[in-house]
Amino acid sequence: MRDSLRHFAAELIGTLALVFVGGAAIMGTAISGSQASLVEIAFAHGLILAVMVTALMRISGHFNPAVTLGFLAVRRIEPMMAGVYLVAQLLGAMLGAYLLKTVFPEPIFAAARGGGQFISLDITGTQAFIAEMIATFFLVLVVFGTAVDPKAPRVGGLAIGFTLAAGMLAIGPITGGSLNPARSFGPAVASGVYEGQLIYWTAPLLGGIVAAVLYEYLFMRGAPEPVDHGTVRPV
């Protein structure tokens, strides 16, 4: 029971921090009359994720249903514990969004949809789905390549945070760069705007599961390379 509580608390705090800091970066500059750039918003998300993963990865460090479902797909987490993680992530996201609603003026909060994302009118739903799926695929692949693989370089959450920031820079203008169902769900609940939630759930979950399965069964558990493999030489 105590172990479950520790995991629950870590996931709740980490997801809360991601939603709060990310949403605050979107809304904060409106107070001073300036407009936050995509780089600033992506950096805020990437930085807080890197810090929270590094601080809490000894206990958990998912903060994203796409990561948790990826772990579940390759049996790296028990179904019951995965449920604990998912509930904590959703509650943390909602709490973070409601804290933003408390801190920021209502007109700014409403205009920013609680710090959530929206899909550009310039693209179709299918294009948005593919963009979110690919970006989340990269994110979960990096999670496995830096935090799960026993031979991975020990860089803490830095690479994971960088990947989130890069994903937001790449697709932020067209989808908002969610890469995380909880990150989109919390602000949607607090703002009452649920536009695009089907895409923000299905695309990251699919991308995360594919990345987890690929890394687990191709990159990490494949047969060892032959000792005489050598380098590829030009013919």
Model confidence pLDDT, tens digit, residues 107-161: 999 999 999 999 999 999 999 999 999 999 999 999 999 999 998 888 989 999 9
Average pLDDT over residues 2-13: 93
Which phi and psi (to 5°) does residue 67 adopt? -70, -45
- The CATH T-level fold of domain 2-220 is Glycerol uptake facilitator protein (1.20.1080)
Domain boundaries, the chain: 2-220
Predicted model pTM: 0.91
- Predicted confidence band of residue 33 (pLDDT cuts 50, 70, 90): low
What the block records as the tokens of 22 is 């990310």
Q: Give the chain's largest Cα–Cα span.
A: 67
Amino acid making up residue 71: F
What the block records as the tokens of 206 is 């699919």
Predicted pLDDT at 1: 58
The number of CA neighbours under 13 Å toward the Cβ of 227 is 0
Are the C-beta atoms of 205 and 162 separated by less than 8 Å?
no
Predicted pLDDT at 156: 87
Are the C-beta atoms of 23 and 114 separated by less than 8 Å?
yes
Closest CA to 116 of 203, 23, 229, 209: 23
pLDDT digits (tens, 9 = 90+) for 170-205: 999 999 999 999 999 999 999 999 999 999 999 999
Are the C-beta atoms of 57 and 157 separated by less than 8 Å?
yes
Instruction: Give the separation between CA 138 and CA 153, rounded to whole angstroms.
Output: 17
* DSSP assignment letter at 149: S
- Predicted confidence band of residue 34 (pLDDT cuts 50, 70, 90): low
